[in-house]
Structure formats: structure tokens, C-alpha cells
Amino acid sequence: MKYFASQMINSSGSGGGGGSTDLFGKIIAPQGLFAGDPAQAVSSLFTLGIRLFFIFSGVTALIFMLRGAFDWITSGGEKEKISGAQQRIYNAFVGILILISILALIATLEGLVFKGAFCFGLTCAIKIPHVQ
């Protein structure tokens, strides 16, 4: 550790305010998520919201499927509990199929039909028209 500290001091010149060779490079403050054009900020926000909605929907469907599997395992052979668990797994599976179908349809529309000129927020950002 002492060697590293001495190398850092020696490489920066007098040990203070960064000489000609800087060990870590130039530090630049990050821009905020919504820096710049307000229309682009709203566009980024909508795109983020749509993507988070689909992520949340998929995770929720998987949780319901796992809960149905857990209910089936812990049913103890009772017909009523088994049928309830099977119904929950079936519903979660149908939800996942619907979600995958919607994602495939939107990705196809964005990529092949509209060719990026109009986006729903999945494969490219939503473009909000505005007056300059």
C-alpha cells in the first residue's frame, strides 16, 4: 500500500493538484437522467415506464407460477388444493404466453413495419413530437 501511495505521489508531480500524468484520468461529473431537452426527458421516462411494466408483469407471472407449484407440493393430496394449484399454474402460464405474444408483436411492429420511425418503447425509445 505504501508503494502504491508513493507511486501516486511521484507520478502527479508535487503530490498535490494533479500534474501532467494523472493516475486515474480526468474526472467528469455525470449528467442527470433527464438532462437536456424536456421532450427527450419525457420520452425517456415513458420508455422506462413501459419497460418496467413488462418486467414487473413477467416477474409477477413467474411468482404466481412458483406459488402454484408450492401450493401443489404442500397440498397433502387434497383434491381441492391440488385443483386450485393447477388453476394458478395454468393462469400464470397463460399470462406468460400473452406477455410473450405482446412483446413479439410490438418488437415486430417496431423493427419490421415501422423500421424505427415509430416506437412503442421496447426496442427503441418513444419519440415525442415537439415544436422547436
Query: Counting Cβ atoms within 10 Å, is residue 4 exposed (0-12), middle (13-18) or buried (19+)?
Result: exposed
Instruction: Output the CA angle 106-112-118, nearest 5 degrees.
Output: 65
User: Cell triple for residue 35?
Assistant: 438532462
Residue of 56, 58, 64, 62 whose CA lies nearest to 87: 64
User: Of the given ranges (23-37, 62-76, 79-93, 109-123), which has the lowest mean pLDDT?
Assistant: 23-37
| Distance, CA of 24 to CA of 1 (rounded, Å) | 16
What mean pLDDT comes out for the span 122-129? 82
pLDDT of 30 over the 90 cut: no
| Distance, CA of 52 to CA of 100 (rounded, Å) | 15
The reported pLDDT for the residue numbered 114 is 86
pLDDT of 34 over the 90 cut: no
CB 86 within 8 A of CB 68: yes
pLDDT of 93 over the 70 cut: yes
pLDDT of 97 over the 80 cut: yes
Sketch the domain layout of the chain as residue ranges. 37-127
pLDDT of 65 over the 90 cut: yes
pTM: 0.66
Cα Rg of the chain (Å, integer): 27
What mean pLDDT comes out for the span 23-33? 75
pLDDT of 43 over the 90 cut: no
User: Of the given ranges (16-25, 45-54, 100-109), which has the lowest mean pLDDT?
Assistant: 16-25
The reported pLDDT for the residue numbered 1 is 62
